[in-house]
């Protein structure tokens, strides 16, 4: 059997086009367009590429997109002042602070300072708490993207066994909450999980968010399962690899996301969607 490929690139383009039409309708009605502000501290090359891509795609659908590039030696106090300024600016709908931050800055303190109504990354404790309570504020972009791909790949999620590998605040935990809200039976696996292959073998849905290239092998996958590979690992040859051994898993799975072209593009499209959601909640 060869798995169906879940085309995240196409799904993301469709989602962006839909958001673009909504932004155009706002503009036609004489309303302000949503503003997305991305804050980048330092010169991390991967982060620079991501921020440029977010800026370009936001501008493409007619959003007001602004990148704030601050030097690596920016103090925590100066970054907090920047966030206070963006919180107070009515034209700012979404604030995203690109992670990771330089080591001298306490990431938790920065996230806590973002107005939860403008937290388009969905990482503020208020938004994480709402999600854990089965309600929804702003939902983290990558988990939201995973769910949109799953809903496209499967007729119904209700009652399915889902195994999430990874428990980070950015991906593993929130994706597990969303799967639970969709009535899956959810297992969260992590570095202390015993016999991970056997745990994964139970899953109708596997979400891999580990950060270890090609860790999940084909013989861990239940035949016909749907595999969502969140991993983005830069290999020595410069190519990207997921957390799943794609060549092996594609022989066993029913459907699978590729890397690149899977969850990554959906993450950015969902950021734009969250910006529009934040705009509507705050200014109609
Ligand atoms: N496609 C996209 O848009 C995005 C992709 N990513 C990618 O997703 C991956 C995960 O990111 P993130 O969640 O931030 O990573 P983190 O490093 O924060 O978390 C990794 C998780 O994997 C677990 N883990 C590590 N080793 C193993 C192992 N051998 N067996 C089982 N579990 C293990 C860790 O367990 P423990 O908690 O016990 O340490 C941890 O919970 C990365 O490749 C990242 O680049 C991230 C964000 C967006
Ligand atoms: N505050 C914050 N929020 C994030 O959501 C966040 C972050 N910080 N820091 C870094 C990670 C990583 N991340 C990706 C986004 C898009 C692609 C993406 O579009 N990937 C393309 C390929 C891109 C390439 O070729 O390099 C793909 O998978 O097809 C990947 C990874 C968001 N993250």
Residue 192 CA: nearest ligand 1 atom is 38
pLDDT of the chain, 284 residues: tens digit per residue = 799 999 999 999 999 999 999 999 999 999 999 999 999 999 999 899 999 999 999 999 999 999 999 999 999 999 999 999 999 999 999 999 999 999 999 999 999 999 999 999 999 999 999 999 999 899 999 999 999 999 999 999 999 999 999 999 999 999 999 999 999 999 999 999 999 999 999 999 999 999 999 999 999 999 999 999 999 999 999 999 999 999 999 999 999 999 999 999 999 999 999 999 999 999 97
What are φ and ψ of residue 186, in 5° steps? -110, 130
Counting ligand 2 atoms within 8 A of each CB, the residue from 143, 210, 232 with the most, and so the one to mutate, is 232
Residue 180: exposure state from Cβ atoms within 10 A (0-12, 13-18, ≥19) = middle
Annotate 245-279 with DSSP letters as a single string: -HHHHTTT-SEE--SSSSHHHHHHHHHHHHHHHHH
The reported pLDDT for the residue numbered 166 is 98
Q: Is domain 141-264 given the CATH code 3.40.50.720 in the classification?
A: yes
Q: Which residue minimizes the CA distance to atom 39 of ligand 1? A: 191
Contact (Cβ atoms closer than 8 angstroms) between residue 266 and residue 229: no
Could you list the residues known to form a binding site for NADP(+), using ranges.
Answer: 166-168, 232
State in Å: Cα 50 to ligand 2 middle. Answer: 6
Contact 231, 259 (CB under 8 A): yes
In this prediction, residue 284 carries a pLDDT of: 78
Which ligand neighbours the alpha carbon of 268 most closely?
Answer: 2
What contacts 25, CB < 8 A, 6 or more positions away?
A: none
Give the ipTM of the model, two decimals please.
0.98
Parse the chain into domains and list their residue ranges: 32-115, 141-264
Judge whether 32-115 and 141-264 match in fold.
yes
CATH code for the domain defined by 32-115: 3.40.50.10860
Shortest-distance Cα residue to atom 24 of ligand 2: 260
d(CA 96, CA 282) in angstroms, rounded, equals: 17
- Catalytic sites, residue numbers: 54, 98, 121
| Ligand that lies nearest to the alpha carbon of residue 229, given by its number in the listed order | 1
The predicted pLDDT at position 266 comes to 98
Q: Relative to the CA of 193, which ligand 1 atom is closest?
A: 31
CA-wise closest residue to 67 among 97, 89, 43, 33 = 97
Predicted local distance difference test score (pLDDT) of residue 136: 85
């Amino acid at each position: 059997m060869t798995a169906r490929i879940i085309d995240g690139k196409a799904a993301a383009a469709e989602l962006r086009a839909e958001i673009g039409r909504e932004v155009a309708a706002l503009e036609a009605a004489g309303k302000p367009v949503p503003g997305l502000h991305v804050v980048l501290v330092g010169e991390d090359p991967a982060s620079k590429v991501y921020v440029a891509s977010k800026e370009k795609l936001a501008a493409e659908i007619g959003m007001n997109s602004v990148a704030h590039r601050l030097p690596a030696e920016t103090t925590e106090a100066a970054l907090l002042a920047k966030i206070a300024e963006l919180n107070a600016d009515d034209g700012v709908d979404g604030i995203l602070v690109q992670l990771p931050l330089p080591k001298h800055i306490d990431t938790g303190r920065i996230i806590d300072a973002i107005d939860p109504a403008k937290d388009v990354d969905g990482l503020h404790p208020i938004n994480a708490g709402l999600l854990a309570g089965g309600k929804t504020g702003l939902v983290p972009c990558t988990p939201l993207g995973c769910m949109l791909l799953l809903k496209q790949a499967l007729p119904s999620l209700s009652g399915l066994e889902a195994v999430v590998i990874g428990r980070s605040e950015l991906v593993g935990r929130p994706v597990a909450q969303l799967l639970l809200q969709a009535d899956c039976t959810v297992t969260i696996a992590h570095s202390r999980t015993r016999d991970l292959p056997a745990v994964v073998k139970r899953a109708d849905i596997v979400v891999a968010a580990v950060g270890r290239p090609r860790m999940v092998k084909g013989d861990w996958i239940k035949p016909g399962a749907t595999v969502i590979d969140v991993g983005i690992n830069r290999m020595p040859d410069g190519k990207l690899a997921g957390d799943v051994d794609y060549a092996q898993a594609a022989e066993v799975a029913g459907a699978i996301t590729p890397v690149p072209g899977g969850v990554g593009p959906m993450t950015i499209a969902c950021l734009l969607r969250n910006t529009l959601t934040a705009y509507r909640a705050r200014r109609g």
